[in-house]
Amino acid sequence: MSIGRIAAVMGAVVLAGEFLMARQDSPRVIYITAERFSFSPSQLSLRVGEEVEFRISSEDTSHGFRIAGTSLNATIPKRGHGELAVKFRPDHPGRYKFECNRMCGAGHSFMQGVVIVEDPTTPKASR
Ligand SMILES: [Cu+2]
């Protein structure tokens, strides 16, 4: 098999992968639990351009969910009153802090986490 032939086969495999990803009609769902005074999980890994849906429920009172540096700023209903469902698609790689933005008690200011957004096209060695 010539080098050119191998490259053509690899290209076809990459295209097939992108086609499959584009065909997914529903975004990846990430479930998060909010509870005085933490989110679980508190560290989320996303890829640039990947749309996800956060489904966040509270174990106690109403909380907030705000991702710094983005327009995402929403309220998580209190336990037994359903869940917050919001879609999110990060445009840029980076570390985005998220936090509760509703005063929920003494430890409110500790209620935070981080979304780590990576660009899958950037080789790890160059970062
Ligand atoms: Cu709070």
Q: What integer is the mean pLDDT of 12-39?
A: 74
Residue 19 in tokens: 């086609």
Judge contact between 79 and 60, C-beta under 8 A. yes
This prediction's pTM: 0.76
Ligand 1 mean position, distance from CA 53 (Å): 21
Ligand 1 mean position, distance from CA 101 (Å): 6
Ligand 1 mean position, distance from CA 28 (Å): 26
Whether the per-residue pLDDT at 14 is higher than 70: the answer is no
Ligand 1 mean position, distance from CA 35 (Å): 9
58-62, 70-74, 120-124: range with lowest mean pLDDT: 120-124
* Domains, the chain: 26-126 (2.60.40.420)
